[in-house]
Amino acid sequence: MAHAMQTGMHFHAESGLLRGACQVLSPHCDPRPGGAVPELIVVHGISLPPGEYGGPWIGQLFCGALDPAVHPYFAEVAALRVSAHLLVRRDGEVLQFVPVGLRAWHAGRSSWQGREGCNDFSVGIELEGSDVQPYAAAQYAALAQLVRALCATWPTLSPHRLVGHSDIAPGRKTDPGPSFDWDRLRALLA
């Protein structure tokens, strides 16, 4: 499979789908409420099982198909109804789970600049990683391309409206964690 970053990234504005990305559509989404549009990009970090990379587990979690018997940790999370718009694997491969025009269930209890419920007005991008291990160079490159493509398609988005999950859910969430290099991402976006 060709990675989306090899050919440049472009979203189809009407469908909200990333051209060339593997589409694994999640049932864990719904319409954005009351004319809400994407105004914020939220960066997350995820690994399943914790600290391990590769495998189908993240996609299975986002699609409600994670088998709790496969790993002891999965029993804790298999029943969660969560998703993200996009996932960037360690090698830079991008998978899409929710069209950008829909509300993905990625932020949970959250607020940004006094607005509650960030799922309503944000795009969630998961990076395969953890708080303690550096993210891969290919992930930063793909994330920068995703941010540029999102901002080019939805004028309500901006690289200045880019936050971590920890920024919108402080005390509850730590991702993408201290291992995420925000300066590196900003340099790629400059």
Q: In whole angstroms, what is the distance from residue 157 CA to residue 125 CA?
A: 14
Place of tokens 């495998």: 55
Closest by Cα among 152, 157, 127 to 141:
127
Q: In whole angstroms, what is the distance from residue 93 CA to residue 115 CA?
A: 32
Could you confirm whether 116 is annotated as catalytic?
Answer: no
Retrieve residue 30's tokens. 């719904």
The alpha carbons of the chain give a radius of gyration, in whole angstroms, of: 15
- In the three-class reduction of DSSP (H, G, I as helix; E, B as strand; rest coil), residue 138 is classed as helix
Instruction: Name the amino acid, one letter, at 78.
Output: A
Q: Measuring CA to CA, how many Å separate 42 from each of 20, 75, 121, 162?
A: 22, 26, 10, 6
Retrieve residue 51's tokens. 């600290």
Closest by Cα among 36, 40, 10, 37 to 160:
40
User: Which of the residues 14, 93, 116, 126 is marked catalytic?
Assistant: 126
Q: Which residues are catalytic?
A: 126
